Amino acid sequence: MGRRVAVVGIGITRFGRRSDASLSELAFEAGREAIRDAGIEPKDVRFLSVGNVGAWSAEPLPAVLVAEYLGLDNPGSMRVEAACASGSAAIKVAYDAVASGSVDVAMALGVERMNESPTPNVVELIGRAGNYFWEFENFGLTFPGYYAIYATAYMDKYGAREEDIAEVAVKNHYYGSMNPYAQFQRPVKLEEVMSSRYIAWPLKLLECSPITDGAAAAVLASEEVARKLTDSPVWIRGMGYATGTSNLSKRQDFLGLEPAARAARQAYAEAGIDPERPYKQIDVATVHDCFSIAEILAYEDLGFARRGEGYMLLKEHQTYIGGLVPVNLDGGLKAKGHPIGATGVGMAVEAVKQLRRKAEPGRQADIRNGVALTHNVGGTGHYAYVTVYSID
Amino acid sequence: MGRRVAVVGIGITRFGRRSDASLSELAFEAGREAIRDAGIEPKDVRFLSVGNVGAWSAEPLPAVLVAEYLGLDNPGSMRVEAACASGSAAIKVAYDAVASGSVDVAMALGVERMNESPTPNVVELIGRAGNYFWEFENFGLTFPGYYAIYATAYMDKYGAREEDIAEVAVKNHYYGSMNPYAQFQRPVKLEEVMSSRYIAWPLKLLECSPITDGAAAAVLASEEVARKLTDSPVWIRGMGYATGTSNLSKRQDFLGLEPAARAARQAYAEAGIDPERPYKQIDVATVHDCFSIAEILAYEDLGFARRGEGYMLLKEHQTYIGGLVPVNLDGGLKAKGHPIGATGVGMAVEAVKQLRRKAEPGRQADIRNGVALTHNVGGTGHYAYVTVYSID
């Protein structure tokens, strides 16, 4: 196996409507913070992976710009894209660059500026992340519709009610209200979620992640370098990834995202986590709640709950702090926001922040085993990346 | 350092106007051939990097589609993009995935379908690979213009004539005429190049690479797996990469691509090649001749000729078979074509084919040291990747 790799620096911008900053400036905000946090100089970064989808971007080839704004000195660089899992793909590429011995210090930086285009246009472009040729053009589905199919199938099979699924928004807005980087920083009541307008039945406006601008960055280093830089490196202990089918018609069912479950098993095997009871070892998790139902499916795909019982886990507040395994204490995609190329890196930032016990008051998990998990999905399981972080 | 990595399978499509095949079908053509050539099953590919720019594509998120068409079994996958060096970025990511121990078998697949859009639109979109905000919008330069700046500076400084630079097209069309996969398979005389119309003075139509559809694929494997699969693996022995400035105004001069020279030094150091006389060890090279002048600059950036003497090297036929170091025996971007996301992988395919001594009659280099080089540039040195391949 390759060398051990640690995250030694993190940075993140405020998420939201960021008309005050260009793509390069957003990237600078996060990247500069990560470099400072790592205690290195820009020239030390020898490889840069930029997670960015950018189908709506005026700067469609962003890696060189980001490297230049950050003042890096001729690193290797590229953009990587795996739909809404692009940020985790960037982490994987930076990880491999260090683990392989190619470089000692790499940066994964996710950035997206979705408000460059009018919202309907962005939603349409994201919709193409399905199989455009076979499905999008014929059915015209966009992502609220895709996830609504999962929600209806889940409700039908397991008897979950709309209210049960809507509780995801309540939890994530609650924790988002304590995160100064979140797009939405106000709690919402269940009644408010339930009375918001339908986007694609049974999913309502307050169950959908928003259109977001933002960036996040992580500096990764080899063990030797990490030990010199910090007394508290956070190790990447396991990484799982899978690519599913882009055709809805080929899926076994609409009750879970099979690639996410596969990615979890791979990550657990690498990290030495018991797949039967992962919650015994994982102190805190961020999962891909692009729509409320997606978080429920994630509980089950990750083995936090048995099939059909994910919504019960939430009902019992087992994914709040103090429960079985707290999930999305940063507000999740729902309240923190979902700048799609940045989201996966933002999850890494949150995992490290939690493991360092540096989350803001009220949203810090109890760190016992020193293990955090991130779960990032592109499309509806077109891509899945699950990563396990650990303080030792 | 990481594990040794070999190329064990290659595949390529015919380049050109491929209205007969969708993006997925093009990818299938190349990928399936690479899998067969490697003697593996689709399920053995555990990671797939797809080089694709695709700003004009109806399928803007192609990795999942490519994986599915090829019948892969839930590998990790992503798209990577580094402008016209995207294919080499895909090779690098697949290399690191194997070298790091993450997987034993990975595939790099480049694919581009540039004829989906009208040519002026594609040229405009490629033009954005410069710094859009500072330069493209203000100056309106597209790539013929960018490289024309280099050509005029070079002619002015070193006294090269238009004819000297145009000789690149003559050589590359000559070799392209023997490559059944090339977009243009007919030789051209110097007079024909000289009398073709100006695109951006001094560059004429026959000095510009065309708009191309095509795909190429390479299967990479760890040493242990490679030894089982083949008696003639081709090892990746060195890889250099650099990211330059996206601002023309920040460049020292317009006489070479500094990031390409840096990438070459790094690749030479890793591969144990004497940077003073690399042509003593390199049997054959493919270089990024998106415009005729670019090949001349490449000679100098790679150390094949001293500064200002690259055009003399060509004049003396030193980059033909039998010369100092034969270059672009597949026709280069000029005649083989330049499907921008596929080009870097196509170069890898050519390097392996040459080292296996399987190039078509008339265009096979004399393989003495068993070393081949690829040089792939994104933009005008925004990205540069240099890779050294070797039979041992």
CATH number at residue B10: 3.40.47.10
The secondary structure of A98-137 as a DSSP string is HHTTS-SEEEEEEEEEGGGS-HHHHHHHHHTTS-IIIIIH
Position B127 confidence tier, pLDDT thresholds 50, 70, 90: confident
CB B240 within 8 A of CB B301: no
Q: What local confidence, expressed as pLDDT, does residue B2 receive?
A: 81
Q: Which of B84, B173, B208, B288 is catalytic?
A: B84
Cβ within 8 Å, pair A53-B67: no
Contacts of A239 in chain B (CB under 8 A): 102
Cβ within 8 Å, pair A64-B247: no
> d(Cα A332, Cα B305) in Å, to the nearest integer?
56
For residue A297, the Cα-to-chain-centroid distance in whole angstroms is 15
Residue B65 belongs to some domain of the structure: yes
Residue A276 belongs to some domain of the structure: no
Name the β-bridge partners of A53. Answer: none
Q: Which of A173, A208, A288, A338 is catalytic?
A: A338
Distance in Å, alpha carbon of A83 to nearest chain B alpha carbon: 7
Cβ within 8 Å, pair A125-B60: yes
Distance in Å, alpha carbon of A202 to nearest chain B alpha carbon: 27
Q: Find the Cα–Cα–Cα–Cα dihedral B76, B77, B81, B82, rounded to 10°.
A: 30
Q: Which of B73, B74, B95 to mutate: most A Cβ within 10 Å?
A: B74
Tell me if chain A has a CB within 8 Å of the CB of B40. Answer: no
B338 is catalytic: yes
Tell me if chain A has a CB within 8 Å of the CB of B54. Answer: no
The pLDDT > 90 percentage for chain B reads 88
Q: Which of B173, B288, B338, B375 is catalytic?
A: B338
How far CA A71 is from CA of A98, A107, A119, B174, B258, in Å, comes to 21, 13, 33, 43, 16
Residue B110 belongs to some domain of the structure: yes
pLDDT tens digits, B55-104: 878 787 899 999 999 999 999 999 999 999 999 999 999 999 999 999 99
Nearest CA in chain B to A68: B245
Angle at the Cα of A147 from the Cα atoms of A141 and A152, rounded to 5 degrees: 110
Q: What local confidence, expressed as pLDDT, does residue B1 receive?
A: 60
Helix ranges (H only) for chain A are: 23-38, 63-69, 86-99, 119-127, 137-139, 143-158, 162-176, 190-195, 223-229, 258-271, 292-301, 310-315, 332-336, 343-355
Q: Which of A52, A64, A142, A251 to mutate: most B Cβ within 10 Å?
A: A64
Q: Which of A3, A56, A61 to mutate: most B Cβ within 10 Å?
A: A61
Distance in Å, alpha carbon of A81 to nearest chain B alpha carbon: 5
Distance in Å, alpha carbon of B16 to nearest chain A alpha carbon: 22
CB B305 within 8 A of CB B299: yes
How far CA B217 is from CA of A78, A320, B41, B265, in Å, comes to 19, 47, 15, 26
Type and span of the H or E element at B386: strand B383-390
The pLDDT > 70 percentage for chain B reads 99
Q: φ and ψ at B236, to 5 degrees?
A: -90, 115
Angle at the Cα of B170 from the Cα atoms of B84 and B265, rounded to 5 degrees: 45
> d(Cα A278, Cα A121) in Å, to the nearest integer?
40
Q: What local confidence, expressed as pLDDT, does residue B388 receive?
A: 98
Q: Taking each helix axis from N to C terminus, what angle separates B143-158 and B292-301, rounded to the nearest 10 degrees?
A: 60
Tell me if chain B has a CB within 8 Å of the CB of A382. Answer: yes
For residue B185, the Cα-to-chain-centroid distance in whole angstroms is 18
**Radius of gyration for the alpha carbons in chain B, expressed in angstroms and rounded:** 19
Handedness of CA B229, B230, B234, B235 (dihedral sign): positive
Cβ within 8 Å of A, B 260-279: 262
Tell me if chain A has a CB within 8 Å of the CB of B1. Answer: yes
% helix / strand / coil in chain B, to the nearest 5? Answer: 40, 20, 40
Tell me if chain B has a CB within 8 Å of the CB of A131. Answer: yes
| A206 CB neighbour count, 10 Å cutoff | 23
Which candidate, B375, B338, B329, places its Cα nearest to that of B208? B338
Which candidate, A348, A356, A353, places its Cα nearest to that of A385? A348
Residue of B3, B61, B74 lying closest to A129 (CB–CB): B61
Which candidate, A186, A201, A191, places its Cα nearest to that of A155? A201
Q: What is the DSSP letter of B286?
A: E
Residue A41 belongs to some domain of the structure: yes
Residue A104 belongs to some domain of the structure: yes
The secondary structure of B220-266 as a DSSP string is EEEHHHHHHH-S--EEEEEEEEEE--S-GGG-S-SSS-HHHHHHHHH
Contacts of B81 in chain A (CB under 8 A): 61, 63, 78-81
Q: φ and ψ at B333, to 5 degrees?
A: -60, -35
Cβ within 8 Å of A, B 108-127: 125
Which residues of chain A have a pLDDT value below 70? 1, 130, 137-138
* B276: Cβ contacts below 8 Å, ≥ 6 apart: B303
Domain span at B96: 5-117+211-229
Residue A48 belongs to some domain of the structure: yes
In three-state secondary structure terms, B211 is coil
CB B243 within 8 A of CB B379: no
In three-state secondary structure terms, B84 is strand
Q: What is the number of domains present in chain B?
A: 1
Q: What local confidence, expressed as pLDDT, does residue A2 receive?
A: 80
Q: What local confidence, expressed as pLDDT, does residue A138 receive?
A: 66
What are the b/e assignments for A134-158, b being 16+ CB within 10 Å?
A: ebbeeeebbbbbbbbbbbbebbeeb
> d(Cα A220, Cα A2) in Å, to the nearest integer?
14
Residue B349 belongs to some domain of the structure: no
Distance in Å, alpha carbon of B366 to nearest chain A alpha carbon: 31
Contacts of B72 in chain A (CB under 8 A): 243
A208 is catalytic: no
* Mean pLDDT to the nearest integer, B14-20: 96
Contacts of A75 in chain B (CB under 8 A): 241-243
Q: What local confidence, expressed as pLDDT, does residue A228 receive?
A: 98
Q: Both tokens of residue B110?
A: 């480049």
* Mean pLDDT to the nearest integer, B381-389: 96
Position B138 confidence tier, pLDDT thresholds 50, 70, 90: low
Residue whose tokens read 């509980």: A299
In three-state secondary structure terms, A78 is strand
CB A236 within 8 A of CB A6: yes
CB B111 within 8 A of CB B23: yes
**Using CB atoms within 10 A of its CB, is residue B361 exposed (0-12), middle (13-18) or buried (19+)?**
exposed
Cβ within 8 Å, pair A246-B79: no
Quote the pTM value.
0.97
* B318: Cβ contacts below 8 Å, ≥ 6 apart: B324, B325
Tell me if chain B has a CB within 8 Å of the CB of A205. Answer: no
Contacts of A78 in chain B (CB under 8 A): 80-82, 86, 89, 92-93, 383
Handedness of CA B314, B318, B322, B327 (dihedral sign): negative
Q: What local confidence, expressed as pLDDT, does residue A201 receive?
A: 97
> d(Cα B41, Cα A221) in Å, to the nearest integer?
35
Contacts of A125 in chain B (CB under 8 A): 60
Cβ within 8 Å, pair B129-A61: yes
> d(Cα A382, Cα B272) in Å, to the nearest integer?
41
- Does the N-terminal peptide bond of residue A210 adopt cis geometry, omega within 30 degrees of 0? no
- Arithmetic mean of pLDDT over chain A: 95
In three-state secondary structure terms, A20 is coil
Contacts of B223 in chain A (CB under 8 A): none
Q: What local confidence, expressed as pLDDT, does residue A338 receive?
A: 98
Cβ within 8 Å, pair B64-A93: no
Tell me if chain A has a CB within 8 Å of the CB of B48. Answer: yes
Contacts of A128 in chain B (CB under 8 A): 58-61
Q: Both tokens of residue A240?
A: 């799982």
Residue of B22, B128, B262 lying closest to A74 (CB–CB): B262
> d(Cα B110, Cα B89) in Å, to the nearest integer?
10
Residue A32 belongs to some domain of the structure: yes
Cβ within 8 Å of A, B 57-116: 58-61, 63-65, 67-68, 72, 74-83, 86, 89, 92-93, 95-97, 99-102
Q: What is the DSSP letter of A182?
A: -
Distance in Å, alpha carbon of B281 to nearest chain A alpha carbon: 23
Residue of B65, B93, B125 lying closest to A246 (CB–CB): B65
CB A252 within 8 A of CB A245: no
Q: What is the DSSP letter of B218?
A: E
Q: Which of A84, A208, A290, A382 is catalytic?
A: A84
- Arithmetic mean of pLDDT over chain B: 95
Cβ within 8 Å, pair A2-B99: yes
CB A90 within 8 A of CB A112: no
